[in-house]
């Protein structure tokens, strides 16, 4: 079913499978005892060939960004070869706070620019005109290349589109074989019709994927794991990319290789109807 490895959009080629750096460096606060485990995971991703890294200022309260930056520097890879996503937290959506949040992320990543900057969650009572005035400035100033949103429903996504001076690149939302809430609310279809990438997070339900006979049979047929089949199903959808997370170098490699699995139309339909 075509090239499973990339989505190409507005001259950008983004890998179907990137790495989500949630839990890298801790959960909601930094956990230095996880540093070596986190760096081992990040080194594996860079060795395997991941180029899209997704982090956020709220992940381990900024420590995830620090570790991503450290691993990238240590790898010696060209910054231009990588695509780095980070996110501004809902409590930082006022004009000055957005600018300050981005400066903080750039400092922790130790980078001059962020490829994709997202509003992490809708904020209660947010004045999005003010938020986007700051986000648009960041793009004009070259600190951010592309803007996007996360966890936005259709109404908010359309509002973001109307306020952004540059095309909204993505809406990052939960999506997996078992979670189709953003299919049911019309967001997936809208993204596909309007050339917006749909970035699936928790594509294997954070490792709690419930298996079934169809998944197992498909995995056997492809000599793959059920997790790989679940990822292959997610990215079989046009305009969909995903960012699985793992600390385990073996799983990190398997997740990346799931992009090579070409499910047949029949297999996709069977898994979908499940």
Instruction: Please identify every residue annotated as catalytic.
Output: 59
106: CB partners within 8 A, 6+ apart: 112, 113, 114, 143
CA distance 75 to 219: 33
Nearest-Å Rg of the Cα atoms of the chain is: 18
Q: How far, CA to CA in Å, does 14 sit from each of 49, 80, 84? A: 13, 13, 11
- Decide: 113 and 142 in contact? Cβ < 8 Å: yes
Tokens 């001259």 belong to residue: 11
Contact 170, 148 (CB under 8 A): yes
Alpha-carbon span 201 to 18, nearest angstrom: 10
Q: Nearest 10 degrees: CA dihedral of 24, 247, 173, 46?
A: 80
Residue with tokens 């997704």: 54
């Amino acid at each position: 079913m075509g090239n499973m490895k990339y989505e190409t959009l507005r001259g950008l080629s983004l890998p179907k499978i990137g790495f989500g750096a949630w839990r890298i460096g801790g959960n909601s606060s930094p956990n230095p005892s996880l540093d070596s485990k986190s760096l081992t995971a990040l080194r594996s991703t860079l060795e395997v060939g991941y180029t899209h890294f997704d982090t956020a200022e709220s992940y381990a309260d900024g420590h995830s960004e620090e570790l991503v930056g450290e691993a990238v520097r240590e790898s010696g890879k060209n910054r231009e070869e990588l695509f780095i996503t980070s996110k501004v937290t809902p409590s930082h959506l006022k004009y000055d706070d957005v600018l300050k949040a981005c400066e903080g992320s750039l400092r922790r990543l130790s980078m001059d620019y962020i490829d994709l900057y997202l509003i992490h969650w809708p904020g209660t009572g947010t004045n999005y005109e003010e938020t986007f005035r700051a986000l648009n400035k960041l793009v004009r100033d070259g600190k951010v290349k592309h803007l996007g949103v996360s966890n936005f429903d259709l109404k908010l996504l359309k509002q973001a589109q109307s306020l952004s001076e540059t095309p909204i690149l993505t809406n990052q939302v939960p999506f997996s074989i078992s979670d189709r809430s953003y299919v049911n609310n019309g967001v997936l279809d809208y993204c596909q019709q309007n050339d917006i990438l749909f970035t699936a997070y928790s594509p294997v339900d954070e490792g709690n994927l419930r298996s079934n006979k169809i998944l197992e049979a498909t995995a056997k047929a492809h000599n793959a794991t059920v997790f790989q089949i679940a990822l292959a199903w997610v990215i079989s959808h046009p305009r969909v990319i995903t960012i699985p997370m793992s600390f385990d170098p073996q799983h990190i490699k398997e997740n990346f290789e799931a992009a090579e699995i070409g499910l047949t139309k029949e297999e996709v339909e069977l898994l979908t109807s499940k």
